[in-house]
Amino acid sequence: MGILLNLFLTFAKISFFTIGGGYAMIPLLQKELVTVHRWINSQQMLDMLTVAEMTPGPIGINLATFAGYQTAGFWGAVMATAGIITPSVILVLALALFLSRFKDFPVVQAILKGIRPAVVSLIAVATFTVGQTALTDMWSWVFLACGLLASVRFGLHPILLLSVAGLLGVVIY
């Protein structure tokens, strides 16, 4: 199978089986891109995740575009992005039809209540996975603690937080 088709199918599979958005995709992306296919390494994954978080748009789509480009250039980016978008569009349309008709049914409500904690667990796994690569020295832990404090206690806007962290990174590193 050619690399372009492989990129499309890999990202379509990730998109199809991920509930909870881009952050919930991170463990699957890490496994497929770094471990299974070895298209990128852990450091590249962390770099792409960092850039994807800073750029406009959904993080999953940004990661697919970056990883596809890294793997197979422009057409790799196109195929990876198409792969990650296609199942989502189909599923969202189907769910919109389904939920509009059955959203008040107790079984549907129970399913949604059961899925929510699973989504939180996927986000926690993504946080742990990224943390293993990103938290490598004392300063990275200081940045983490200050970022959490600035976000939770003072409600610092994410763009300001990322800008300050970037500037401090230039000064410290």
pLDDT of residue 79: 97
Specify if 141 maps to a domain: no
pTM: 0.65
What is each CA distance from 94 to 87, 89, 108, 116, 172, in whole angstroms? 10, 9, 14, 19, 49
Summarised one tens digit per residue, pLDDT across range 126-172 is 788 888 888 989 999 999 999 999 999 999 998 899 899 999 999 99
Q: Which of 25, 45, 23, 22 is nearest to 35 (CA)?
A: 45
Distance between first and last Cα of the chain: 43
Listed as own residue / partner, the contacts of 141-144 with beta carbons closer than 8 Å and 24 or more positions apart are 143/168, 143/169
In whole angstroms, what is the distance from residue 64 CA to residue 77 CA?
7
Q: Which of 67-71, 116-120, 149-153 has the lowest mean pLDDT?
A: 116-120
Q: Is pLDDT above 80 for 119?
A: yes
Specify if 145 maps to a domain: no
Mean pLDDT, range 100-126, rounded to an integer: 86
Specify if 169 maps to a domain: no
Tell me which residue range forms the domain holding 18: 3-103
Summarised one tens digit per residue, pLDDT across range 7-59 is 999 999 999 887 767 777 888 888 999 999 999 998 999 898 888 888 888 88
Specify if 110 maps to a domain: no
Specify if 55 maps to a domain: yes
pLDDT of residue 150: 94
**In total, how many domains does the chain have?**
1
Specify if 83 maps to a domain: yes
